[in-house]
Structure 1
Amino acid sequence: MAEILFPALFVLLALGLPVAFAMAISVFIALSFGSSYPHLVVVKEMFAGLDSFPLLAVPFFILAAEIMTGGAVTMALLRLAQSLVGHLKGGLGHANVVSSAMFAGISGSALADAAGPGTMMIRMMERGGYDRAYAGALTIASSVVGPIIPPSITMIIYAMQDQAVSVGSLFMAGVLPGLLITAMVLLANARVSHRRGYASGAPMPPLRDILRIFIYAIPALLLIVLIVGGIRFGIFTPTEASVIAVFYALVVGMAVYRSLRLRDLPAIVLRAALTAGAVLLILGAARAFAWILIIEGIPQFLAQTIIAWDLSPIVFLLAVNLLLLIFGLFMDPLPGVMILVPILAPIASALGIAPDHFAIVVIVNLTLGLTTPPVGSLIFVVSSTMRIKPSTLIREMPPFFVALFLSLMVITFVPALSTWLPRLSGF
């Protein structure tokens, strides 16, 4: 069946079908022409892929992010970021990157970062004299930290595929790599801003004003502490944390910032439901796709083959990076995790690579695929929301491709970035 499954998938993706539909239809085609299994097994496997208590965290975290965005949190974080770095050369660009890092601690999604604070920052940067396409490219690069700084939807899905890690340990493992990527994108923006003369016209605000803005943003920032701290100290599970995050977001939006009204909730819930539905549909289709790979014995065959090559851990990580970079050109992170992690994680463990370290390498690598054509979802989100041609955005991306690739190499070859905090936190 595999000889039918993969060609069918690539053809359907080339025709422009959404990833979830391409995977599900390719499974149906493989079953129709390559096996005697009934087609009902596809529906069964898709349902099995969604029948999971930990998976409930995904829609609740998405809903919490939507509520926080509707409750003036985005503007509070933007104001804080601008007060901290807006006075520097390229200051509005720096504010874009810093606000994305802050919002990543709420949304858990790169696409939410780009569509939320990213869109607002592009408009602000354009009014500040930045090229519109450059502002869009910077937003694409800065949004990469969404699934890396906790909470992260991708990490929740990864932990379901690899029993050697937990959601809590992955949340802690993503903090330093996320900050590293943020710093590298800041450096890239500083270099381009210096070369193009993107100067800030705003003076550094008085310390009293910065403190006032920081205090105003504390309720938004506390959500990160609530989620990570609660999971770390065993107060609640990641699924329970996602529900608590929803209630916290409601309280903050209605009682603290007072910008969220009851009549806003139906539209917010609808947006969250559509986003969660799309994510869960991908996960269900990926489960059916992975089922065919398993019954065909492909994971076992690849594992035995790679182990027989007797690769060193460093060479294996380089090979995995190359594989994932290519895979990410055509596939979003969630199906990538569902399909590849059950194959690669046991091999990494057999080679003595720390599970948390390998998980972060995989997640960062697949997330970079969101920034690269032809499937790069971040490119198309920014293109559609800001009406910028994808080709124009891609021409502005090379400095950020370099920054992101260097970050990936540091994360790959410095395991302590991913393992120090989980070990320190008791995971």
Structure 2
Amino acid sequence: MAEILFPALFVLLALGLPVAFAMAISVFVALSFGSSYPNLVVVKEMFSGLDSFPLLAVPFFILAAEIMTGGAVTLAMLRLAQSLVGHLKGGLGHANVVSSAMFAGISGSALADAAGPGTMMIRMMEKGGYGRAYAGALTISSSVVGPIIPPSITMIIYAMQDQQVSVGSLFMAGVLPGILITAAVLLANARVSHKRGYASGAPMPPLAEIARIALYALPALMLVVLIVGGIRFGVFTPTEASVIAVFYALFVGMFVYRSLRVADLPAIILRAALVSGAVLLILGAARAFAWVLIIEGVPQFLAETIIAWDLSPIVFLLAVNALLLVFGLFMDPLPGVMILVPILAPISFALGIDPDHFAIIVIVNLTLGLTTPPVGSLIFVVSSAVNIKPSALIKEMPPFFIALMGALLLITFIPALSTWLPTLSGF
């Protein structure tokens, strides 16, 4: 069936079908023409992929992010970011990057970062004299930290595929790599801003003003502390944490910032339901796709072949980086995790690679695929949000892609970036 499955998938993706439909239809085609299994198996496997208690965390985290992304919360983040770095050369660009890092602690999604505060920052940067295409490319690059800094939907799905890691350990493992990626994009923005003369034009605010702005943004920033701290100290499970995050977001929106009204809730719930439905449809289709690979023996064959090569851990990780970067050109992170992790994670564990370290490498690689054509979801989200041609965004991407690749190599060669905090936290 594999000889039918992959060509069918690539043809359907080339025709522009959404990833979920492309995977599900390719499985139907493979079963119809390459096996004696009934097509009803596809539906069964899709349901099995969604019949999971930990997976309940995904729609609840999405709902919490939708509640928290109200005007007051987003503006609080942007004001804090601008007060901290807005006075530097290329200050609005720096504020864009820092606000994405802070917003990552709420959304857990690169696409949400780009569509929310990222879109607002593009308009602010354009008014400040930056090229719109450059502002869009910077937003695409800074949004990469969305699934890296906890909470992260991708990390939840990864933990379901690899029993060697937990959601809590992955949340801790993503903090330092997320900060490193943020620093890399800041350096790239500083270099381009100096070259093009993107000045700040704004003086550094007094420390008292910065403290006041930080205090105003603190309730929103405390969400990630509540989630990670509660999971670390065993107060609640990741699924329970997602529900608590929803109630915390409601409390902050209604009673702290007072920007959320009861009348706003139906629209918020509808948006969260639509996003959750799309994510879960992808996960169900990916489960059916992975099932075909398993019964065909593809994971076992690849594992035996790679182990027989007797690669060193470093060479293996470099090969995985290359594989995942190519895979990310055509596949979004969530199906990528469900298809590839059951194949690659056991091999990495057999080679003595720390599971948390390997998980972060996989997640960062697949997330970088959101910034590259032909799929490049971040490119098309930003393109449609602020009316920029994708080709214009892609032309501005090289400095940032180089910075992101440099961060990826550091994460690959310095395991402590991914393992120190989980070890320190007792995971």
Q: TM-score, normalised by structure 1?
A: 1.00
**C-alpha displacement of 1:374:** 0.2
Pairing 1:241–2:248 present: no
Deviations 1:328-377 (A, max 9, x none): 00000000000000000000000000000000000000000000000000
CA–CA separation in structure 2 for the residues paired with 1:56 and 1:123: 35
Report matched runs for 1:58-137 at 5 Å: 58-70=58-70, 72-137=72-137
CA–CA separation in structure 2 for the residues paired with 1:134 and 1:181: 18
Pairing 1:321–2:321 present: yes
The AA in structure 2 aligned to 1:170 is: L
Deviations 1:289-325 (A, max 9, x none): 0000000000000000000000000000010000000
Aligned to 1:309: 309
Report matched runs for 1:17-32 at 5 Å: 17-32=17-32
The AA in structure 2 aligned to 1:298 is: V
Secondary structure, in 3 states, of the residue corresponding to 1:111? helix
Check the 8 A contact 1:227/1:245 in 2, yes or no: yes
Pairing 1:152–2:152 present: yes
Report matched runs for 1:47-58 at 5 Å: 47-58=47-58
CA–CA separation in structure 2 for the residues paired with 1:333 and 1:248: 28
Structure 2 runs not aligned, ≥5 long: none
CA–CA separation in structure 1 for the residues paired with 2:326 and 2:221: 36
Pairing 1:6–2:6 present: yes
Deviations 1:23-81 (A, max 9, x none): 00000000010001000000000000000000000000000000001262111000000
The AA in structure 2 aligned to 1:394 is: I
Deviations 1:56-113 (A, max 9, x none): 0000000000000126211100000000000000000000000000000000000000
Check the 8 A contact 1:71/1:257 in 2, yes or no: no
Q: Pairwise CA RMSD of aligned residues? A: 0.5
Aligned to 2:407: 407
Structure 1 runs not aligned, ≥5 long: none
Secondary structure, in 3 states, of the residue corresponding to 1:72? helix
CA–CA separation in structure 2 for the residues paired with 1:73 and 1:308: 53
CA–CA separation in structure 2 for the residues paired with 1:49 and 1:71: 35
The AA in structure 2 aligned to 1:185 is: V
Deviations 1:211-257 (A, max 9, x none): 11011001001101100100000000000000000000000000000
Check the 8 A contact 1:325/1:369 in 2, yes or no: yes
CA–CA separation in structure 2 for the residues paired with 1:259 and 1:120: 18
Secondary structure, in 3 states, of the residue corresponding to 1:47? helix
Aligned to 1:192: 192
Deviations 1:391-423 (A, max 9, x none): 000000000000000000000000000000000
Report matched runs for 1:246-257 at 5 Å: 246-257=246-257
Aligned to 1:36: 36
Q: TM-score, normalised by structure 2?
A: 1.00
CA–CA separation in structure 1 for the residues paired with 2:367 and 2:106: 17
Check the 8 A contact 1:71/1:254 in 2, yes or no: no
Aligned to 1:371: 371
Greater Cα shift, 208-217 or 64-73:
64-73
The AA in structure 1 aligned to 2:284 is: G
Report matched runs for 1:337-348 at 5 Å: 337-348=337-348
CA–CA separation in structure 1 for the residues paired with 2:71 and 2:121: 18
Deviations 1:168-226 (A, max 9, x none): 00000000000000000000000000000000011000111111101100100110110
Aligned to 1:206: 206
CA–CA separation in structure 2 for the residues paired with 1:287 and 1:8: 17
CA–CA separation in structure 1 for the residues paired with 2:135 and 2:336: 28
Pairing 1:295–2:295 present: yes
The structure-2 alpha-carbon separation of the partners of 1:150 and 1:176, relative to structure 1 and needing over 3 Å to count, comes to: same
Secondary structure, in 3 states, of the residue corresponding to 1:115? helix
The AA in structure 2 aligned to 1:364 is: V
CA–CA separation in structure 1 for the residues paired with 2:317 and 2:95: 34
Check the 8 A contact 1:328/1:369 in 2, yes or no: yes
CA–CA separation in structure 1 for the residues paired with 2:224 and 2:322: 33
CA–CA separation in structure 2 for the residues paired with 1:64 and 1:319: 37
Check the 8 A contact 1:110/1:147 in 2, yes or no: yes
The AA in structure 2 aligned to 1:137 is: A
CA–CA separation in structure 1 for the residues paired with 2:197 and 2:237: 48
Check the 8 A contact 1:142/1:185 in 2, yes or no: yes
Q: How many residues align?
A: 427
Check the 8 A contact 1:70/1:268 in 2, yes or no: no
CA–CA separation in structure 2 for the residues paired with 1:244 and 1:283: 24
CA–CA separation in structure 1 for the residues paired with 2:193 and 2:70: 32
CA–CA separation in structure 2 for the residues paired with 1:361 and 1:23: 24
The AA in structure 2 aligned to 1:313 is: P
CA–CA separation in structure 2 for the residues paired with 1:383 and 1:268: 24
The AA in structure 2 aligned to 1:324 is: L
The AA in structure 2 aligned to 1:4 is: I
CA–CA separation in structure 2 for the residues paired with 1:275 and 1:77: 23
The AA in structure 1 aligned to 2:409 is: M
The AA in structure 1 aligned to 2:55 is: L
CA–CA separation in structure 2 for the residues paired with 1:329 and 1:83: 36
The AA in structure 1 aligned to 2:367 is: T
Identity of aligned residues (%): 88
Aligned to 1:417: 417
CA–CA separation in structure 1 for the residues paired with 2:126 and 2:226: 35
Secondary structure, in 3 states, of the residue corresponding to 2:163? coil
